[in-house]
Amino acid sequence: MTAVSVPTSTKFDLGPARALLCRECGNETPLAPEYACLECFGPLEVAYDFGKIRREDIEAGPRSIWRYRGLLPVPSTVEQHPNTDPGGTRLVEAHNLAKALGVRKIWVKDDTGNPTHSFKDRVVGVALAAARELGFKVLACPSTGNLANAVAAAAARAGWKSVVLVPSNLERAKILMSAVYEGDLIAVDGNYDDVNRLAQELAAENEDWAFVNVNVRPYYAEGSKTLGYEVAEQLGWRLPDQIVVPIASGSQLTKVDKAFRELGQLDLVEATPYKVYGAQATGCSPISAAFKAGHDVIRPVRPDTIARSLAIGAPADGPYVLDAVRRTNGAIDDVTDEEVVEGIKLLARTEGIFAETAGGVTVATAKKLFESGQLDPDAETVLLITGDGLKTLDALGDTIGPRATVPPSAEAVIKALGSPR
């Protein structure tokens, strides 16, 4: 799988992006609206010629992901077009959580602060910028939640049409969250797999539709690198010892790893060793299962978990996740739905951060990996919290509520506070 360097040229201004490179056979092809290798049908990834990039130039940039535009497949003029300007979210030192887990130092990267409150704004931002340059006219996706939000909002802001496909049995609240932007939200009678297949078919038939996670995927996926860049910059331009990343398709984990490697290669940080850890819900844990069994092949599963934003039974980037985790001496584990809920509540109680179920997966898996000794309690650990608890309120069920319901008297309040929980 060595890259075969062939002369490439492009008519597109996608900044430092040089070509598309097949992750399987290494074949290089010019930058284009493609996503599968013409030689072997393997997935394509963006390759770069970065040139010299300095910390000062990044630091002088905007607060959004566009401060890293020199590291992304987007035009240098990206900021001149309306977009949601994602990124620049908090990196919170989690003293109370570290204390609760009995470990030295934990940082929480809180991506709920993005415009539509998940990391999907990052990938959609990059996809939109690349799609514009590549000549697409419509922003589209299949989704069951966060991505639908991000695409509908980004298209509205950009003045583009959007086509968002969701399963018709999606919760009403999630439909409203995306429908409010008044793009073309279409409910499809079928499950997410049906919707995804439909997106592939529509992408093939409508050449100016950019399905961000299908035919624009090589560009889209690069947006996740910005999570890695931000963490390193917010730590004072250095890499953490350990980072725990939730796994859906697995793309995010591989891109955070890619970001850390790039920063080292570009001398933007010292290339210190780091370990990448993956987190799954047991009800959809094909990569965790393969990791534990020492397999290289991922056996698809039928998802059954409350962590619906991670519920991809046949994760496209599974093998690359295994590579990254094994290369960095990390690990992968999975947690039950009960542990997910406990993870959400632990983070909320200790740090005042309300994560969606995927965040509960990350926190609970980190707890488990500390307990098993696979995460080092004396090292510094970063947890990626990629989505917002307001979007998955149902998952908390009846596990929380008021401490007491009382008549309007001060005495009643004091009495309620004094009673055992």
Residue nearer to a second copy on the CB measure, 166 or 332: 166
Instruction: Provide the 3-class DSSP secondary structure of residue 88.
Output: coil
**Least distance in Å: CB of 357 to a second copy?**
12
What is the DSSP-derived secondary structure letter of residue 298? P
How distant, in Å, are the alpha carbons of 37, 42, 91, 409 from that of 26?
Answer: 9, 9, 36, 72
**Least distance in Å: CB of 117 to a second copy?**
7
**Least distance in Å: CB of 325 to a second copy?**
31
Residues 6+ apart with CB under 8 A from 375: 103, 242, 244, 277, 331, 366, 369, 381
Phi-psi region of 171 (alpha: psi -120 to 50; beta: other; left: phi over 0): beta
Residues 6+ apart with CB under 8 A from 26: 1, 2, 3, 4
**Least distance in Å: CB of 39 to a second copy?**
28
**Least distance in Å: CB of 171 to a second copy?**
11
Residue nearer to a second copy on the CB measure, 97 or 245: 97
Instruction: Provide the 3-class DSSP secondary structure of residue 105.
Output: strand
Q: Side chain identity at 39, as an amino acid letter?
A: E
How distant, in Å, are the alpha carbons of 38, 115, 139, 386 from that of 106?
Answer: 44, 25, 37, 16
Q: Side chain identity at 102, as an amino acid letter?
A: G
**Least distance in Å: CB of 112 to a second copy?**
8
**Least distance in Å: CB of 123 to a second copy?**
15
Instruction: Provide the 3-class DSSP secondary structure of residue 398.
Output: coil
**Least distance in Å: CB of 361 to a second copy?**
16
Residue nearer to a second copy on the CB measure, 32 or 202: 202
Residue nearer to a second copy on the CB measure, 1 or 60: 60
DSSP string, 164-205: EEEETTS-HHHHHHHHTT-SEEEEESS-HHHHHHHHHHHHHH
CB 139 within 8 Å of CB 210: yes
Residue nearer to a second copy on the CB measure, 99 or 299: 99
Residue nearer to a second copy on the CB measure, 207 or 296: 207
**Least distance in Å: CB of 81 to a second copy?**
10
Single out the residue of 339, 346, 331 nearest to residue 307, CA to CA.
Answer: 339
**Least distance in Å: CB of 147 to a second copy?**
14
Residue nearer to a second copy on the CB measure, 346 or 366: 346
Pairing label, strands 161-167, 138-142: parallel
Residue nearer to a second copy on the CB measure, 1 or 410: 410
Compute the distance between CA of residue 299 and CA of residue 293 in angstroms, rounded to an integer: 11
Compute the distance between CA of residue 164 and CA of residue 161 in angstroms, rounded to an integer: 10
Q: Which helix (H) or strand (E) holds 155?
A: helix 146-158
Residue nearer to a second copy on the CB measure, 110 or 222: 110
Residue nearer to a second copy on the CB measure, 132 or 391: 391
Residue nearer to a second copy on the CB measure, 44 or 155: 155
SS3 sequence of 27-68: CEECCCCCCECCCCCCEEEEEECCCCCCHHHHHCCCCCHHHH
Cα 223 to its chain centre, rounded Å, is 9
Token code pair at residue 275? 């370990």
**Least distance in Å: CB of 261 to a second copy?**
27
